[in-house]
Structure 1
């Protein structure tokens, strides 16, 4: 899978729930509360960007430069 495909991947609430180990209803509550950005399909279903979900699972850790004099 290329970077472009990964960035555009849309996940269902069930898939997000499996990644976090929670119930799909919890994912819906997170979206309603603004904790997750949801995209609405034409049918009204929520979808989540895979890149955003994965960023929440593995947050980037800022590197600390050690100063040695």
Structure 2
């Protein structure tokens, strides 16, 4: 897994999220830009995603549409 934020929540990279959903990392970025999933920006401008939210989406609690 990736970096941890100050509240110790595990954050995932777009590539890690893409592997979980079996999509291209650019698709994950498009979902974030469209507001379908929330993301956090690092100081360098990279996107990170909360693992808890991604797990909920994978479990089917909140569908993601492409």
For this structure pair, what is the TM-score category when the shorter chain's length is used for normalisation? 0.7 to 0.9
Higher RCO (C-alpha 8 Å, min separation 6):
1
Equivalents in 2 of 1:59, 1:23: separation in Å?
20
Equivalents in 1 of 2:16, 2:59: separation in Å?
16
Q: How does the TM-score come out when normalised to structure 2?
A: 0.78
Equivalents in 2 of 1:35, 1:18: separation in Å?
17
**2:14 paired with 1:40:** no
Root mean square deviation, CA, Å: 1.2
**2:53 paired with 1:52:** yes
Equivalents in 2 of 1:8, 1:55: separation in Å?
14
Give the number of aligned pairs.
Answer: 54
Q: Runs in 1 of length 4+ with deviation above 2 angstroms? A: none
Runs of 5+ consecutive residues of structure 1 not aligned to the other structure: 1-6, 61-69
Equivalents in 1 of 2:49, 2:38: separation in Å?
7
